[in-house]
Amino acid sequence: MKPNYRSLSKFLSRSRLLCAAFVTLSTLCSCKGHENEAPPLMPAVFSYVLNREVIETDRYSGRLQSPQEVNLSARVSGIITSASFDEGAIVKAGDLLFSIDDRPFKADLQSREADIAYAKSQLSLADVRFKRYDKLSKTGAVSAENFDEAAAAVDQAKSRIAAAEAARDLAKLNLEWTQVRSPIDGKVSRKFVTEGNLVNGGTGQSTPLTVITSVDPMHCYVTVPERALLRYTNLINERKNAGIGDMLPCAVQLENGKGFKHKGVIDFVDNRIDRNTGTVEMRCSLPNPEGKLLSGLFARMQVPGTAPYHAMLIPDIAVGTDQDTRFVLTVGADDAVVRKAVVLGASFGSLRAVSQGLNGDERVIVTGLQFMRPGAKVKPEEKPISAEDQALLDEAISQFAASAAPHQSSSRQSLGEGGATDTAQNTTKG
């Protein structure tokens, strides 16, 4: 009996149609079940506005320099007999560093003292002869010429004594210079010459022996723009009026340091502005009793640019730009996105002050601004401002607030003439 292929084919076709209909029906039912479910809310990471007192600071690059630096050289020629100091040690003014063979200088001093004794004996002889001629001249027994010669001989003998005494004093100095002593308190360098070497003295090609640099205090020199100088001048005047003092505080950070740990005061500003660059040299004096600060080290100097004032701070990454308008996106009371135009102030690390546009209690969105739309509902997620950012603010306040005159207003006031001011904080200049 032959199989009926036509009936089998019809059966398979009907089975396929039934399966397709079942799958379609299942899909439609599934979609109908999700029609009433709302899409998930987009998360919005926000930070609260930080309200606190701040001080704007300016930072400059410079190098440390000792107030005194002495290139010690030999003043007399001779053989070095001793170099009685430790290289790199702290020395006091008057400490013996080098000794030069003093025997030739002692002999020269004795010779000069003998010259004085001889000159004095010649003076005595000339004085006796003058007195004798003086008596004879009254009786006419001696000519006027012989009398004048006797008087001149006395003056000549006195001159020879003065010359001999001057030569003796120079011999004493040369003998004294064989003992090379430190002229200042400071740190001594290495020995450029050692025992047994011949050194040359005098004003010509004198032999360098070592270098001494003073340690306490240490100076940091920087160049600042004239506009900043005007602000500092006004700030100093505010301090004077407040009875705080007439010196501006400063702080220094070394290249491998964290934070501005070394505190000092501005004690010098140059008396002229460089016409080519519009800058002026300024100096910070730092106490250095332990000698940790070395001359020549690279350093960054921080100076208060304003008196303390109250500010509203937000993360700088939360600020958006629309042509010439700055704005932030906030999370409203109903968890909807709200756009607010703002006027920005100074920067404080990764934070930015807002002078207009915020009330101070907003929840400012800090990430994903390009995905947010004003009016859209979001799921708020708080991200507090980091402790590190707040520590930078605390550091500036602790360094300068105690010695700064407070502002009369809660907003930042200009310290420059004609309202001109710099708003950049923590910006390296110079």
Q: Do 167 and 230 sit in the same domain of this protein? A: no
Among the listed ranges 48-52, 76-80, 133-137, which one has the minimum average pLDDT value? 133-137
**Last residue within a domain, chosen from 177, 197, 229:** 177
Is residue 60 very low, low, confident or very high in pLDDT (cuts 50, 70, 90)? very high
Please give the share of the chain, as a percent, with pLDDT higher than 70: 84
**pLDDT at residue number 392:** 79
- The residue-averaged pLDDT of 353-378 equals 88
At 70-104, the pLDDT tens digits run: 999 999 999 999 998 899 899 999 999 999 999 99
pLDDT of residue 80: 94
Residue 401 · residue 55 · CB < 8 Å: yes
Number of domains in the chain: 4
Residues 282, 246: Cα–Cα separation, whole Å: 15
pLDDT at 279: 93
Residue 206 covered by a domain: yes
The pLDDT assigned to 10 comes to 55
Banded pLDDT at 128 (limits 50, 70, 90): confident
Calculate what percentage of the chain has a pLDDT beyond 90: 36
Q: What is the CATH number of the domain that holds 133?
A: 1.10.287.470
In a domain? residue 417: yes
Q: Which among 155, 152, 160, 151 is positioned nearest to 130, based on CA atoms?
A: 151
Same-domain check for residues 333 and 409:
yes
**Are 82 and 197 within one domain?**
yes
- Identify the domain boundary among 177, 199, 229: 177
* Same domain, yes or no: 94 and 107: no
Greatest alpha-carbon pair distance for the chain in Å reads 195
* 66, amino acid identity: S
CATH number at residue 206: 2.40.50.100
Residue 36 covered by a domain: no
Question: Is 284 found in the same domain as 235?
Answer: yes
Q: Are residues 108 and 225 in the same domain?
A: no
395 and 282 within one domain? no
Judge whether residue 413 has pLDDT over 50.
no
pLDDT per residue as tens digits for the range 231-268: 888 888 888 887 777 788 899 989 887 778 889 999 89
Q: Given this model, what pLDDT does residue 339 score?
A: 92
DSSP per residue over 153-207, as a string? HHHHHHHHHHHHHHHHHHHHHHHHHTEEE-SSSEEE---SS-TT-EE--SSSSPP
How confident is the model over 279-296, as a mean pLDDT?
91
Do 257 and 163 have their domain in common?
Answer: no
| Boundaries of domain holding 86 | 75-100+181-211
Q: What letter would DSSP give residue 257?
A: -
On whether residue 362 sits in a domain, the answer given is yes
Q: Is the pLDDT of residue 407 over 70?
A: no
* Predicted confidence (pLDDT) at residue 405 exceeds the cutoff of 50: no
Sign of the Cα torsion 154, 155, 159, 165 reads positive
Residue at 21 is within a domain: no
CATH of the domain at 346: 2.40.420.20
Domain boundary among 162, 189, 211: 211
Model confidence pLDDT, tens digit, residues 261-279:
889 999 899 989 999 999 9
Mark whether 350 and 262 lie in a shared domain.
no
Is 40 inside any structural domain? no
User: Are residues 196 and 149 part of one domain?
Assistant: no
- The closest alpha carbon to 414, from 210, 238, 256, belongs to 238
Contact 286, 264 (CB under 8 A): yes
CATH number at residue 265: 2.40.30.170
Tens digit of each residue's pLDDT (9 = 90 or more) over 145-177:
777 778 888 888 889 999 999 999 999 999 999
Mean pLDDT, the chain, as a whole number?
82
- Count other Cβ atoms within 10 Å, centred on residue 71: 12
Identify whether residues 296 and 316 lie together within a single domain: no
pLDDT value at 15 more than 80: no
Higher pLDDT among residues 416 and 200, named by residue? 200
Query: Quick one: pLDDT at residue 415?
Result: 33
| Residue 37 domain-assigned (yes or no) | no
The answer to whether residue 147 is domain-embedded is yes
Exposed / middle / buried, residue 37 (Cβ in 10 Å: 0-12, 13-18, 19+): exposed
pLDDT, tens digit (0-9, with 9 covering 90-100), for 180-194: 999 999 999 999 999
Are 173 and 186 in the same domain?
no
The pLDDT value recorded for residue 239 is 80
